[in-house]
Amino acid sequence: MQILLPERSQTPLNDDQYYLLQQFFSTLSPEQAAWVGGYVTGRVAKDLPALPSAADIADITILVGSQTGNGETLAEQLHSLAAGRGLKTTVKKMGDYKLPQLKAEKNLLVIVSTYGEGEPPDNARELVEYLFSKRAPSLKKMHFAVLGLGDSGYEFFCKTGIDFDRRLEELGATRIHPRVDCDVDYESSAEAWMDAVLNVLSLRLEANSQTAESAPPSVASSSVYSRKHPFPALLLENIVLNGRGSLKETHHLEFSLEGSGLSYEPGDVLGVYPTNAPDVIDALLQTLHFAGTEWVTLDDGKEGFLYDALFRHYEITAITRPVMQKYALLANNQKLDQLLHDKQKLNDYLYGREMIDLVTDFPSGELSPQAFVGCLRKLPPRAYSIASSLKQHPDEVHITVAAVRYQSHGRDRKGVGSTYLAERIDGDTIIPVYIDRNNNFKLPADPDTPIIMIGPGTGIAPFRAFVEEREAIGAPGKNWLFFGDQHFETDFLYQAEWLRYLKSGLLTRMDVAFSRDQEQKIYVHHLMAEHGKELYAWLQEGAHLYVCGDGKCMAHDVHQELLNIVAAESGTGNAEDYIADLQRTKRYQRDVY
């Protein structure tokens, strides 16, 4: 967990006090940080200026901005925890939020994710623009706290949460608890933040001599299995979808959910907890001169062999800045310290390197096994778009996974999750899985509504689920699919199924782009341009448009082409407003990564 303090100049602390506070917080676990926050708040609660009234405390809004649904899950968890303490909260999604309401908020708890290169979720864009515009109101009557979600593997870690936190303060709002930035293993950090924030609000209620009525927590899920308690699934099928000679290796995997009580809808995500590859662990242990039989204590207090810790508990491939900073404190290496202070060189170094490169390039002779695991972050689950309809495949869930293998800096590399699924599981392997809801990527409620689906490569996965679902419920709405990959002969994923749907009429039309089958590469956005008039006509009919796949290049190109099409076909010059309205009304949804 990272608790980021405001700049020293914005605090009443002197340099020594500020440094000591930074050092102190860096040593705390999430639970310890929550206790400290609650204790300090309780000691000074009676002296806090301008305490909100009990009525104001009861008026708490949980505002959530999420791309994949993790934020919304946490918001509901916070809502339930608050109810258990007698605090009344309302959960509001940023995409549905009425902007003028902002100045009326008394207590605002923001949960917001960051994806890509520091970008806000699609449903948060309008609010972010408003917040940073000249129209943003004074918020001097607001008390707030921010929880940021992100991935420290990216340069702009939790940037949207940072931006919210800073801007709310600039507009006059009072921070009731320091912002917490959560990495991919966010559960304990998020729960500690929730506990600390609710402690503050509860203590302020007590300071106003008010007694809150307790309320029952939200109804529990019908399944006992979750991200924290994954279901032990068994593999049913593992089929390579590519033909012989393909440069790609794409797997269709089917898992049994029998007895789990888990359910899902098209657009949802399957979380999978992988293990690290044994050969990768062996190479790292050899470089560190460790045997693997050393006894170590894990983050949760459990103990075990070092090898097992590296096998299933810690990430040993991708390097993040926090990991490098922790390792640098142990390595005592001047070159590493210099690298950490040169942003451009650091970015260049991080790209394509793993922990074995770090310990090879900057060896530490005094490093112990316990100190080494103390540098690492937890091995996070991998998220895959679900490629099946539960109505068509009861007690099953399907995913589409491309095995990642490549070379960088003179070493062979492999994707942890993708090669775990591709080559290290069989019918006897227990695969820990859970379902993540994604309410921002859902079929239209009206089955008559036309849909346009754009999904190259493994981005095709959720659209297989969409079409299966529409077949199962007999939805009469038109369905248009754009698909792209490298070669028609070897990379037309689920070809037989699409041809069957075309023949039956369920799939109204399908346009495909195989980039390497001709001298000039053709991608899905080129097909959009070719059929721009028809695509715009579908949108005018009320069609919903969906995009799934690479967020850095493909989704950007698709979005730009969509703007071009609307500008050309509407002739009104307000393409950006048109697209923004599609997003606001959830007629343009993206599942990008």
Closest CA to 295 of 380, 373, 363, 378: 373
- Where is pLDDT greater, at 384 or 126? 384
The SS3 assignment for 109 reads strand
Quick check: pTM over 0.85? no
Flag the least confident range among 30-34, 333-337, 500-504: 30-34
Question: Comparing 318 with 69, which gets the higher pLDDT?
Answer: 318
Alpha carbon separation from 409 to 287, 353, 549 (Å, rounded): 16, 7, 27
The reported pLDDT for the residue numbered 16 is 60
Count H helices and E strands in the chain, helices first: 22, 22
Question: For residue 339, what pLDDT band results from cuts at 50, 70 and 90?
Answer: very high
2-207 and 451-592: identical CATH topology: yes
Beta-carbon contacts of 142 under 8 Å, excluding residues fewer than 6 positions away, are 105, 106, 107, 108, 168, 172, 173, 174
| Nearest to 153, CA basis, from 354, 310, 4, 337 | 354
User: Percentage of the chain with pLDDT > 90?
Assistant: 67
Kindly state the helix (H) or strand (E) to which residue 305 belongs, with its residue range: strand 303-305
Hey, where are the domains in the chain?
A: 2-207, 231-273+381-436, 278-375, 451-592
The hierarchical CATH code for the domain 231-273+381-436 is 2.40.30.10
End-to-end CA distance of the chain: 23
**Per-residue pLDDT tens digits for 547-580:** 999 888 999 999 999 999 999 999 877 899 999 9
Task: Please name which of 289, 298, 372, 358 lies closest in space to residue 330, comparing C-alpha atoms.
Answer: 372
Q: Quote the pLDDT of residue 332.
A: 85
The topology under which CATH files domain 451-592 is Rossmann fold (3.40.50)
- Residue 397 tokens read as 């869930």
Mean pLDDT, rounded, for 101-109? 90
Q: Is 464 helix (H, G, I), strand (E, B) or coil?
A: helix
Residue 345 CA to residue 78 CA, distance in Å, equals: 40
Comparing 89-93, 304-308, 413-417, 549-553, which segment has the lowest mean pLDDT?
Answer: 549-553
Contacts of 386 by beta carbon, 8 Å cutoff, 6+ apart? 264, 266, 267, 268, 269, 270, 397, 398, 399, 461, 462, 465
Report residue 160 CA to chain centroid gap.
13
- pLDDT, average across residues 92-101: 87
Q: What is the mean pLDDT of the chain?
A: 88
Residue 557 is predicted with a pLDDT of 96
Asked whether residue 49 carries a pLDDT value surpassing 50, the answer given is no
- Please check the confidence at residue 208 and state whether its pLDDT lies above 90: no
Q: Indicate the pLDDT class of residue 17, thresholds 50, 70 and 90.
A: low
pLDDT surpassing 70 at residue 189 = yes
Question: Helices marked H in 341-460 — which ranges?
Answer: 343-350, 355-361, 369-375, 416-423
Separation in Å, CA 444 to CA 167, 536, 546, 578, 585: 35, 18, 11, 19, 11
- Please check the confidence at residue 53 and state whether its pLDDT lies above 70: no
Place of tokens 């053709």: 522
**pLDDT tens digits along 433-448:** 999 999 999 999 999 9
Q: How far apart are CA 473 and CA 476, in angstroms?
A: 9
Indicate the pLDDT class of residue 66, thresholds 50, 70 and 90. confident
Gap between the Cα atoms of 6 and 166, Å rounded: 9
Q: Round to whole Å and give the CA distance between 477 and 351.
A: 44
pLDDT in tens, 124-180: 888 999 899 888 888 998 999 999 998 888 888 899 999 999 999 999 999 999 999
Q: Which of 305, 328, 231, 216 is nearest to 272 (CA)?
A: 231
- Residue 420 CB coordination number (10 Å): 22
Would you place residue 217 in the very low, low, confident or very high pLDDT band (cuts 50, 70, 90)? very low
| Nearest partner of 128 among 110, 106, 104, judged by Cα | 110
Q: ∠ CA(151), CA(152), CA(156), 5° rounding? A: 90
Supply the DSSP symbol for 442. Answer: -
**Amino acid identity of 10?**
Q
- For residue 47, the 8-state DSSP code is G
Q: Give per-residue pLDDT as tens, 356-373.
A: 999 999 998 789 999 999
CATH architecture observed for domain 278-375: Up-down Bundle (1.20)
For residue 588, name the pLDDT band (cuts at 50, 70, 90): very high
- Reported as a pLDDT band with limits 50, 70 and 90, residue 461 is very high
Q: Are strands 2-3 and 382-385 parallel, antiparallel or unpaired?
A: unpaired
Fold of 2-207: Rossmann fold (3.40.50)
* Least confident segment among 163-172, 199-208, 209-218: 209-218
DSSP label of 351: T
